[in-house]
Structure 1
Amino acid sequence: MSTLTSNELEDLQTFLKDWLRHTGRTQADLRRALQAGSIRMPVLLEVLQRTYSRDGLPGLADQLCRVEELWQSEDGAGGSDDAGLPGLEASLGQLDLLLQEIRQDQQP
């Protein structure tokens, strides 16, 4: 099974922090979505590392897309404040594009 290099883990951590900040979410929100044992970044990265080892980069991107979809549905279920929705749609679109590019790169 493959594992992320230390540089890739650093890049993933930077991405996660930027993503959380952009979406107005916290590490606690990510912990709940990933069903991780702690909100600490090393634990969150470990969960994502396991996904990468099992399913590769497409699986990792797919998992992050599912988290984004979950958050978007939670925000939509509230119904009272749609002000943040365009930002969520934009970030979900970016994750979908990333997943699409990864899948295209892996096709023979």
Structure 2
Amino acid sequence: MSGWSGQVEDELTLLLKDWLKQQGRTQADLRRSLQAVSTRMPALLEVLEREHRLGGIPRVAARLCEIEAEWVGTNASSPSNNQKDADPFSQLDLLLQEIRDDCGS
């Protein structure tokens, strides 16, 4: 198992920033999931370094996968959020259907 180094931190920082952007999440979201003391990257990396000491990069990756699953589960558990994400004009569609129904009667 390779040790924790500045290079690992740099690569992990870049990975986390890209990942958060793709997930539409912030460092504050990651802080909550990691239960870190701060939203700043050094505090987030400190938690991940502890995970690394316990099981290396595979453990860090597993922890990040758990967090992503948690985030996906949070989004999936809220039907109104999924409906909004799936179709931002859903309210307009409902209004249009009501107008069609009224005109047909």
For normalisation by structure 1, the TM-score amounts to 0.72
Matched, 1:55 2:55: yes
Output the amino acid matched with 2:12.
Answer: L
Identity %: 45
Q: Which residue of structure 2 lines up, in the alignment, with residue 69 of structure 1?
A: 69
Structure exhibiting the larger radius of gyration computed from Cα positions: 2
| Cα RMSD after superposing both structures | 1.6
| CA–CA separation in structure 2 for the residues paired with 1:64 and 1:52 | 12
How many residues are aligned here?
84
Please list the CA deviations of residues 5-38 of structure 1 after superposition, one character each: whole Å capped at 9, or x if unmatched: 1111100000000000110000000000001111
Specify every segment of 5 or more residues in structure 2 that has no aligned partner in the other structure, as ranges. Answer: 87-105
| 1:2 shift after superposition | 5.9
Specify every segment of 5 or more residues in structure 1 that has no aligned partner in the other structure, as ranges. Answer: 85-108
| CA–CA separation in structure 2 for the residues paired with 1:8 and 1:58 | 13
| CA–CA separation in structure 1 for the residues paired with 2:57 and 2:2 | 10
Does the 8 Å CA contact 1:2/1:53 hold for their aligned counterparts?
no
The higher relative CO (CA closer than 8 Å, separation ≥ 6) is in: 1
